Every structure is written in structure tokens, then in C-alpha cells.
Amino acid sequence: MVSCGLRVLGSGGRASVFTPSRDGYRVKREEAAKAIADALEQEGYEVRVHTESQRALSEALAERFDLAVLDVRMPGLDGQAFYRILRHQGSPLADRLLFTTGDTLARETAEFLEEIRLPFLPKPFHVEELQDRVRAALDEIAPARTSGDDD
């Protein structure tokens, strides 16, 4: 259940990986976060890793991000709550999320993804799939970034 947030400032840009974790799963999550961070760095992003969802949310609200990649089922503050807080706060980032989930068959998850109509990447996935989805999501929002949308 890795979640990450990207900030892209022009080409190459900067990315932050948010990996909220419970103590029992911290090592596996940190390894997964490292793999994701490495994959994004290969694409030219500068990556930061976080392990607390609340801290990740605070950073997402305080700084400009072009895209955030979040797991639907993060411990503590899950992806749905993260999304709803961004939406409630009026953050443009609420419309710039890519969710990952291994839980697409669960009714609650399916209803949430249907409701928000944002892209998601089912787990497990290959790093190339993540890179492709991130690239596609950023290409989709590129007109807003280049038209002076400073959020």
C-alpha cells in the first residue's frame, strides 16, 4: 500500500513519494517506495519520501503539486479521506490524483473510484505501467500548467 505524490515543475520536475505505513509493514512499504522513487527518478523527477499520511497531506496542502499518486487503502488517513480533505480545502490537487489499489473488487473502493472518476492503477503493477500512467496524467494536465495555472 504505497502512496506517492508528485510535484512537477516543468520538464524533469520534482516528485514526492508519500508512503504512510503501519509499523508492521514499514520495511516492505519503504522498499516499495524506494522502487517507485527510483522509477520516477529515472523519468527525471526529484523524489522525496514520506511515511506519515497526515504529514503528506500537510505538504500536499502547503506546496504546489501537479499530480499525486495515492493508494486507496493507506493506513491512518486513507486515499478517500485524503481526497475529500483536498476537495474540502479547495485544492486543485483534488482533480490531479492517480490512485493505486489492490482492492478494485471491494464495493466501497469501486463506488469511490466511480464517484470521483479519476484515473487509477490496479495493483500489482509494473514500474513501467506507473511511469506510463504518470506521464499520461501529466500530459493531460499540461495545458493547465503551461497556461499560467499557478494554483
Tens-digit pLDDT profile for residues 73-129: 877 888 999 999 999 999 999 999 989 888 888 999 999 999 999 999 898 888 889
Domain boundaries, the chain: 4-145
Question: What pLDDT does residue 24 have?
Answer: 41
More confident position, 143 or 104: 104
Coil, strand or helix at 147: coil
Q: What confidence score (pLDDT) does residue 7 get?
A: 43
Q: Confirm if 65 and 96 have CB atoms less than 8 A apart.
A: yes
Average pLDDT over residues 48-63: 81
Would you state the pLDDT for residue 86? Answer: 96
Share of the chain above pLDDT 90, in %: 25
Pair 142, 121: CB distance under 8 Å: no
SS3 17: strand
**Full strand arrangement of the beta sheet holding 14-18:** 46-50, 14-18, 4-7, 67-71, 97-101, 120-122
Render pLDDT for 16-29 as a digit per residue (tens, 0 to 9).
Answer: 455 444 444 444 66
Confidence of residue 8 (pLDDT cuts 50, 70, 90): very low
* pLDDT-based confidence at residue 37 (cuts at 50, 70, 90): confident
Buried b (16+ CB within 10 A) or exposed e, 62-96: eeebbbbbbbbbbbebbbbebbebbeeeebebbeb
Q: Three cell numbers at 83? A: 481526497
4-145 CATH fold: Rossmann fold (3.40.50)
Query: Which of 31-40, 62-71, 125-134 is the most confident on average?
Result: 125-134
Name the average pLDDT for the chain: 76
Predicted local distance difference test score (pLDDT) of residue 16: 45
**Predicted local confidence at residue 61, as pLDDT:** 93
